[in-house]
Amino acid sequence: MPDLSKITCIEDLRVIAKRRVPRMFYDYADSGAWTEGTYRDNENAFQKIKLRQRVAVNMEGRSTRTTMIGQDVAMPVAIAPTGLTGMQHADGEIHGARAAKAFGIPFTLSTMSICSLEDIAEATGRHPFWFQLYVMRDRDFMERLIDRAKAANCSALQLTLDLQVLGQRHKDIKNGLSTPPKPTIANLINLATKPRWCLGMLGTQRRSFGNIVGHAKNVSDVSSLSTWTAEQFDPSLNWGDIEWIKRRWGGKLVLKGIMDAEDARLAVDSGADALIVSNHGGRQLDGAPASIDALPAIADAAGDRIEVWMDGGIRSGQDVLKARALGARGTLIGRSFLYALGAFGEAGVTRALQIIHKELDVTMAFCGRTQIDTVDSSILLPGTF
Ligand SMILES: Cc1cc2nc3c(=O)[nH]c(=O)nc-3n(C[C@H](O)[C@H](O)[C@H](O)COP(=O)(O)O)c2cc1C
């Protein structure tokens, strides 16, 4: 186990991940669509929201424990679904799922993961986790994927609604990030400077999309996969599809990618259990508002008929507290998780969760609250949100 006591914030983990992860995959995580304006806003928008410091309040017996869709969580934070996670670190999804299980928070596996649903179930002793689903044209494949998620003991399905068309990330094109990645001279030279990562990859068989290769029609290897994915994301997705997915799944359903109050009302009508205010970490619509800025109006529209969660730009426990104050019962972390994973694998993810938890707990105390469930907008300075 590496000594991570000097790692004190998520930024420390980002800096180390940048050093250790091949540029093509680091850039894939640390980038947003087009000008990256929305990507940057997601982080920056938290800074203008100010907290009210309270003193001489008994701060003993604090707890960040709460629930998300009825499931106990050690703090209102879950790991967000991220594609290609097993390329930040060998067997990355397994490392993430194990760290989340030990900490007592939910882990979400992406459709586009490297480790498969079955890999995660096996590596965690069939501990429940969440699965994120993209709507694909091949409905037979989707149905089988839903059935596999059930068999793997998944306890919630996150349906991502904001990827009918793809935002463009300049860096991915310039780096030749495709399936399979292009072995350009620049990429090979860069790989040679990442011996730790290369060694990890040599030690695992999991180097392709585990949920797809060997399961979807006409996809038997990585090279046939790129054609398949390009054709599969379904631009015709609409609210009618949600009904049959809900029926087929039959369990807790979470709708991911809601950025508008009108869509929040439709999400309520759909009968889903939770919605996630999310702009896909600034990777889709460049020009969309920061998630934290979109949150209050959506929480208002949703009322208490559906749980409202948010993601985008969360890099600290202070951010989690502000999201909670503005109406998010739960939050999800994408890049904070990926940087930690790229830097130190499972130990890094555990460290990131410890850091966020401590920041959340102490900041809550500074605001004069001892229980996360009592946090509301009265902990925020009027005029700053
Ligand atoms: C590298 C990367 C890959 C992602 N892949 C997926 C995915 O496969 N499915 C999905 O629903 N969201 C995906 N997302 C979006 C995340 O689930 C989440 O909405 C976002 O990362 C939150 O913002 P944050 O990274 O600032 O925390 C991805 C995000 C990143 C950074």
Distance 24 CA to ligand 1 centre (A): 16
Question: Which neighbouring-strand residues pair with 73?
Answer: 66
In SS3 terms, 149-217 reads as HHHCCCCEEEEECCCCCCCCCHHHHHHCCCCCCCCCHHHHHHHHCCHHHHHHHHCCCCCCCCCCCCCCC
In this structure, the residue with its CA closest to atom 2 of ligand 1 is: 82
Q: Is 229 close to ligand 1, i.e. is its CB under 6 Å away?
A: no
For the CA of 113, the nearest atom of ligand 1: 8
For strands 71-73 and 66-68, give the pairing.
Answer: antiparallel
Pocket test for ligand 1, best of 283, 316, 319 (most atoms within 8 A of CB): 283
Residue 296, pLDDT score: 98
Distance 53 CA to ligand 1 centre (A): 33
Q: Is 313 close to ligand 1, i.e. is its CB under 6 Å away?
A: yes
pLDDT level of residue 140 (50, 70, 90 thresholds): very high
- Reported as a single tens digit per residue, the pLDDT across 97-134 is 999 999 999 999 999 999 999 999 999 999 999 999 99
Q: Is 348 close to ligand 1, i.e. is its CB under 6 Å away?
A: no
Residue 181, pLDDT score: 78
Residue 231, pLDDT score: 86
| Percentage, residues of the chain above pLDDT 70 | 99
In this structure, the residue with its CA closest to atom 27 of ligand 1 is: 334
What mean pLDDT is reported for the chain?
96
**What mean pLDDT comes out for the span 188-199?**
95
**What mean pLDDT comes out for the span 69-79?**
99
- Reported as a single tens digit per residue, the pLDDT across 207-217 is 999 999 999 88
For strands 156-160 and 130-134, give the pairing.
Answer: parallel
In this structure, the residue with its CA closest to atom 20 of ligand 1 is: 281
Distance 54 CA to ligand 1 centre (A): 35
DSSP-derived secondary structure letter, 90: T
In this structure, the residue with its CA closest to atom 8 of ligand 1 is: 83
pLDDT level of residue 221 (50, 70, 90 thresholds): confident
What domains does the chain contain, in order, with CATH numbers? 10-46+67-365 (3.20.20.70)
The kind and range of the H/E element at 357 are: helix 335-366
Cβ atoms of 372 and 64 closer than 8 Å: yes
Q: Is 160 close to ligand 1, i.e. is its CB under 6 Å away?
A: yes
Q: Is 335 close to ligand 1, i.e. is its CB under 6 Å away?
A: yes
Residue 180, pLDDT score: 75
For the CA of 29, the nearest atom of ligand 1: 1
